[in-house]
Copies of this chain bind each other. A is one copy, B any other.
Amino acid sequence: MPYKPTGFSSHDHDGCIAQGMQAAEAFCAAKGLQLTPVRRRTLEILLQAHEAMGAYDVLARLSQDGFGDKPPVAYRALAFLQDHGFVHRIERLNAFVACARPGADHDPAFMICRSCGKVAESELSGSGLTASARESGFVIEQTVIEAEGLCPGCQP
Q: A: which residues have CB within 8 A of B?
A: 2, 4-5, 7-9, 91-92, 109, 111, 113-114, 120, 122-133, 135-152, 155
Residue in A4, A8, A132, A133 whose Cβ sees the most chain B Cβ within 10 Å: A132
In the bound complex, CA of A5 to CA of B135 (Å): 9
CB atoms of B123 and A132 under 8 A apart: yes
In the bound complex, CA of A132 to CA of B145 (Å): 13
CB atoms of A128 and B123 under 8 A apart: yes
CB atoms of B151 and A132 under 8 A apart: no
Q: Which of B7, B111, B143, B152 contacts A145 (CB 8 A)?
A: B143
CB atoms of B128 and A91 under 8 A apart: no
